Amino acid sequence: MPSPFPGMDPFLEHETTWATFHYNLMNVLFQVTTPSLVERYRARVLERVFTVEHVLFTSVKREEHREPYLEIRQRSDGKLITLVESVSPVNKTTSAGRQGYMDKRNEAHRFRANIVEIDLVLDGQRMHDFSRENLPTWDYNVVVTRAPRPEQFELYTTTIEKRLPRFRLPLATDDRDVVVDLQAVLHRVYDQGNFAKMIDYQSDPLTKLEPGQKLWIDRYLREQGMRA
Q: Is the pLDDT of residue 56 over 90?
A: no
> pLDDT tens digits, residue range 121-131?
999 999 998 88
* Count of all residues that appear for the chain in the document: 228
Strand intervals (E) in the chain: 41-55, 60-74, 80-87, 114-119, 140-145, 154-158, 166-169, 178-181
> Chain centroid to CA 95: how far?
18
Helix (H) or strand (E) holding 77: none
**Of residues 91, 87, 96, the one with CA closest to residue 61:** 96
The overall average pLDDT reported for the chain is: 94
pLDDT score of 192: 92
Pairwise CA distance, residues 198 & 201, whole Å? 10
> Chain centroid to CA 135: how far?
21
pLDDT score of 131: 82
> Chain centroid to CA 18: how far?
10
Q: Which of 49-58, 120-129, 136-145, 178-187 bottoms out in mean pLDDT, i.e. has the lowest?
A: 49-58
Pairwise CA distance, residues 61 & 171, whole Å? 41
Three-state DSSP class for residue 90: helix
Mean pLDDT for 36-44 is 94
When comparing pLDDT for 1 and 73, which is higher? 73
3-state secondary structure string, 181-213?
A: EHHHHHHHHHHHHCHHHCCCCCCCCCCCCCHHH
Pairwise CA distance, residues 186 & 201, whole Å? 18
Q: Is the pLDDT of residue 186 over 90?
A: yes
